[in-house]
Amino acid sequence: MGQPDIRVTGGDLLARTLKAAGVETIFALHGGHHEALFKGCVDHDIALVDVRHEAAAGHAADAYARTTGKLGVCVITAGPGYANATAAIANAQLDGAPVLFIIGAPPLREVETNPLQGGIDQIAMARPISKWALSIPATERIPDLAAMAIRKAMTGRKGAVVLEVPIDILHMSVPAARATPAAGLHVQPTPAPSPAEAWRLADLLATAERPAIIVGLEGATPGVASALAGLSERLGVPVFTKPQAGGVLPPGHPLDAGAPGGLAALAMSGAPGPDLVILLGARLGLMLGGRSGGIVPHAARVVQVCADAGEIGRLRDVDLAIAADGRETLMALAEALDGVRLPDWRGWAAQACGIKAASAAAFADARAAGGVHPYRAAQAVAEAAGPEAVYVLDGGEAASWAAMTAAPNAPGRVLTHGYLGCLGIGPGFAIGAQLAHPERRVVQVTGDGAMGFHIQELDTMVRHRLPIVTVVLNNQVWGMSIHGQQLMFGENYNVISKLAGTRYADIASSFGCHAERVEDEAELPAALARAFAAGRPALVEVMTDPDVVHPVTVSMLGQVKEGGGETMIPYYENIPEGV
């Protein structure tokens, strides 16, 4: 680290380690616990982007990581600062986003003295919601333990890691020569399947009548997209993508089958479903139909490709488990298929992919009496933003409408909810995505409910001159909530699910954004064009019909047969009679 007589602060050691790891941008909210680190970032040319709420800082780092494949870094202060960010930590962890959360803490020497912003065991709180969490015990250990945190975040199934640095540890200095080396900063192995696994996958394909590929968030990488593009036409297999994996195949690709829910729609139409499902970086759970078999049929053979071997086989047995990288698996499969005659699946692929077109056609001319139809609003946003844009989708039904129309031409450009179902991710995600991709349009589509969580981040966008376009679909209710209530208890029922009266365009204008309110669909294309041309943060508030229900709300409620004995449980499996 340097000459024996030169002393360095913990903040400088940590900044040096982050710089050596390739970190260029840190998302933060100021707190005195980190003053030495902030000084180190200035000295080592690491950009600090300050936001207005710790959760937004965490979400911004999360989006930065997802859209670049690099480490995201969030720095937040102790106590309430850390507590505010716990949702962001859990969200990154559940979705496998590599984010390093550096949190402050009172001095070690003042433990159990009722110090300021102390009194809680932050690491004990962090362990259940992160991949790894540790408090650094000594200044000279900062480099090697920070390097370990980075390796934990970036290897295997990636995830959120929490590194607590008490203020005295961070501000004290040590001889540079005594500091531990930051070893292994760039260790990122890429596991490949064994030859036997690749051959077995080829055999399963060769004997399948109706194979389907489902790509999840782990597969939403340029490497997977490139390998899949080279292999898809040779295979002729329909490719379904979870929302966060949109863009793995380019818009209009003949094998792009859309969302996995299309498989459930196919079954409901009476057509036979897939007899082989290849889960490429996709996890089993609610978003793939849970244990119902509606999307992944119980009778189908299943191949699951996932970096985390412990995730494979959740909810059901699989016929082939491959704990490997998606790109490496596709490349190995291509080699294993040399000389193998595959069935002609063109008829099956056309049928499977036709569900997406039918779904879009069902809403293409939709109109609503009480405002703009949300599908039409989302469609106008996608047309204005274009395939090069990064789409950030927040809210319940608002995000679902936007997911139906967003058509990016590369992976990692649709950022939306994962299994935490965390409302309010939108502003932070948009900030992180725009800073990661300054050359791209970033459009955030959100509901009026979700927008209220972090509306103050409009100030962050203005201060940092981020030309993010936010579109608020304002139906003046918590859409998924009120529609669920009415499906359960009747159309005249609602409890704490109305939000009428707030004018989001007026609020955005006060923050310094270009802002417009649209009540007539005919005015929407021009309003969006002005927003994208403004060259500064913009918000378009679209008044949508509160009575329009998204199909996902109906499906997530798990309808019960009239007169049956089941108990309806919103968003989860119904409870059978007699339980």
Please tell me the distance from the alpha carbon of residue 286 to that of residue 273, in angstroms, as a whole number: 19
pLDDT of residue 578: 67
Known active-site residue 428: no
pLDDT of residue 175: 95
pLDDT of residue 358: 86
pLDDT of residue 579: 66
Contact 288, 273 (CB under 8 A): no
Percentages helix, strand, coil for the chain, rounded to the nearest 5? 40, 15, 40
Q: Is 165 helix (H, G, I), strand (E, B) or coil?
A: strand
pLDDT of residue 559: 66
Give the contacts of 158 (CB within 8 A, at least 6 positions apart): 96, 97, 98, 131, 307
- Ordered alpha helix ranges (H), 446-549: 448-451, 457-463, 479-489, 504-511, 524-533
Known active-site residue 22: no
Phi, psi of 486 (to 5 degrees): -75, -30
Active-site residue (options: 10, 11, 40, 54): 54
pLDDT of residue 386: 95
Each of the 579 residues of the chain gets a pLDDT tens digit; together they read 455 579 999 999 999 999 999 999 999 999 989 999 999 999 999 999 999 999 999 999 999 999 999 999 999 999 999 999 999 999 999 999 999 999 999 988 878 777 777 888 999 999 999 999 999 999 999 999 999 999 999 999 999 999 999 999 999 999 999 999 999 999 989 999 999 999 999 999 999 999 999 999 999 999 999 999 889 878 999 999 999 999 999 988 999 999 999 999 898 888 899 999 999 999 999 899 999 899 999 999 999 999 999 999 999 999 999 999 999 999 999 999 999 999 999 999 999 999 888 888 888 888 888 999 999 999 999 999 999 999 999 999 999 999 999 999 999 999 999 999 999 999 999 999 999 999 999 999 999 999 999 999 999 999 999 999 999 999 999 999 999 899 888 889 999 999 999 999 999 999 999 999 999 999 999 999 999 999 999 999 999 999 999 988 888 776 666 666 777 777 788 787 766
Stated pTM of the model: 0.95
pLDDT of residue 427: 98
Active-site residue (options: 119, 230, 421, 564): 421
Known active-site residue 54: yes
Q: Which of 517, 537, 450, 435 is nearest to 72 (CA)?
A: 435
pLDDT of residue 201: 97
Active-site residue (options: 31, 33, 53, 258): 33
Known active-site residue 535: no
pLDDT of residue 352: 94
CA geometry: angle 211, 213, 218, nearest 5 deg: 160
pLDDT of residue 230: 85
DSSP string, 371-396: SB-HHHHHHHHHHHH-TTSEEEE-SS
* Cβ-based burial of 309 (10 A; exposed 0-12, middle 13-18, buried ≥19): middle
Phi, psi of 198 (to 5 degrees): -65, -40
pLDDT of residue 560: 66
pLDDT of residue 475: 95
Active-site residue (options: 117, 122, 304, 444): 117
Please tell me the distance from the alpha carbon of residue 261 to that of residue 269, in angstroms, as a whole number: 13
Q: Specify the residue for token string 């029922």.
A: 493
Contact 479, 448 (CB under 8 A): no
